[in-house]
Amino acid sequence: MLSSVVLAATVTATVALPVLVSSIIRRRRIIERISLIPHDKERVVIIGASSGIGLELARIYAHRHAHLVIVARREELLEQLVQELGTIAGSIHAVQGDITAPEDVRRITIESLGALRGGIDTLIICAGVISVLPFEELAGINCTTANRTLSSDNAEYTHLIPANPQAALEASIKIMNVNYHAPLNLTSHFLPALIQTSSAGNIIVVSSMAGKIGAPTRSIYCASKHAAQGFFDALGMEVERTGVHVGIVSPGTVDTDLRQSAVDLPKSEAYDLSSSSSAQANTSRSELKRIAGTKKGAMTAHACAEGIVRASDYRQHDAVMPWFYQMSLILNLISPPLVRWLAKKKYGYL
Ligand SMILES: NC(=O)c1ccc[n+]([C@@H]2O[C@H](COP(=O)([O-])OP(=O)(O)OC[C@H]3O[C@@H](n4cnc5c(N)ncnc54)[C@H](OP(=O)(O)O)[C@@H]3O)[C@@H](O)[C@H]2O)c1
């Protein structure tokens, strides 16, 4: 009896103590940041604010009366947001630009700092694109094993070359440019201003659960998000001594139009879907749904944005959302085969 009480107390203490300590540390962090940077004084640059999660981030910061710069390629959507939030935000300014173009990144930085009167407290890198095809389909690799021969007499071996390796390489370069190289380049441009002009600068990067655990049909997307995870993890440690905090946020599935930006689908099947309501577009839309997997149980973009703002306020290093996705990380340490099974099940690979 006594031993089971001792066991229960030990287990409770083992679980409760770290939770208690981390919640005390978090509370101290938010109080510290708010006292240094009140909400209505916070100068925030949101990269990728024309739709989805970034747009909701802009709305949340505007309602806190922050000073905002919103960045994306689709200028008309940014202007609509400026109209919507103009009277609510402390100030709001749109900067149009493509973050994969180095000259745009330089201009975005200079225009943003100009609009914010020379200083920045929070850089949120939310822009991103996805991939939705199985790798073998993208590269044109024949995976049927019906005609398997264990040796080949064909001296050219050309029948063993995939139909479209170039497509796979190009899609990979595109996705790495947006999800990894552009965040890196934005960071090097904004970091000096974050160090020099903020009392508690934050860089918040919107990654994905795909940056933690692989999933079928997402191979090149997972690669780009894993690269970002590694870079920003290490960077966070390097720049901590400057007072700048680096936080990575990894959401699960969120209900947005991200799949329409897929780098491995023809443009007509991707972006054009948003504006068209034709029968043909509807067919493509259902086809896209088939390719891309289900959004069942997805978070809303607003709930995700609230989590990202919280992660910035609390200066969390690595936030996963919704919270129960933490379980899959723990499970991945205990039983990787089970997590692989769950991922395959989610994407119809069982
Ligand atoms: N939706 C999900 O299920 C989910 C889950 C986990 C993580 N995430 C991550 O969340 C982030 C936001 O995605 P979302 O779901 O909100 O999708 P979204 O609505 O498609 O938003 C993507 C944003 O990125 C911007 N963007 C893309 N390429 C750009 C470029 N070259 N230059 C400038 N801006 C660019 C887009 O603006 P323009 O097209 O106007 O340039 C748009 O504002 C992404 O990093 C994504 O990986 C999403």
Domains of the chain, earliest start first = 29-133+174-346 (3.40.50.720)
Q: Which amino acid residue places its CA nearest to atom 5 of ligand 1?
A: 253
d(CA 3, CA 48) in angstroms, rounded, equals 56
The protein residue with its alpha carbon nearest to ligand 1, atom 46, reads: 128
Pocket residue to mutate for ligand 1, from 76, 79, 126, 225, most atoms within 8 A of Cβ: 126
Q: What is the pLDDT of residues 115-161, one digit of tens each?
A: 999 999 999 999 999 999 999 999 999 888 877 777 666 667 888 88
Name residues whose C-beta falls within 8 Å of residue 222's C-beta, 6 or more positions apart in sequence.
Answer: 210, 211, 214, 215
* pLDDT at residue 20, as a whole number: 73
Q: Ligand 1: which residue has its CA nearest to atom 32?
A: 98
Report the residue among 46, 47, 53, 177 best suited for mutation to probe ligand 1: largest number of ligand atoms under 8 A from its CB.
Answer: 53
Token pair 């990144």 is found at 105
Which one of 45, 46, 50 would you pick to mutate in the ligand 1 pocket, going by the greatest count of ligand atoms within 8 A of its CB? 50
- Cα of 125 to ligand 1 centre, how many Å? 9
If you measure from the C-alpha of residue 232 to the centroid of ligand 1, how many angstroms do you get, rounded to a whole number? 18
What was the pLDDT predicted at 64?
98
CA of 345 to the centre of ligand 1 (A): 26
What is the reported pLDDT for 266? 76
127 Cα–ligand 1 center, Å = 4
Nearest atom of ligand 1 to the alpha carbon of 53: 16
**Ligand 1 pocket mutation pick from 75, 258, 274 by most atoms within 8 angstroms of CB:** 258
Structure confidence at residue 3 (pLDDT) = 73
**For ligand 1, what atom is nearest to the CA of residue 55?**
43
**In which residue ranges of the chain is pLDDT below 70?**
1-2, 11-15, 19, 25-28, 151-155, 267-294
C-alpha 84 to ligand 1 mean position (Å): 20
Q: How far is CA 260 from CA 6, 18, 180, 183, 256, in A?
A: 55, 41, 19, 21, 9
128 C-alpha to ligand 1 centroid (Å): 4
- Residues with C-beta less than 6 Å from any ligand 1 atom: 48-54, 72-74, 98-100, 126-129, 178, 206, 208, 251, 253-254, 256-258, 261
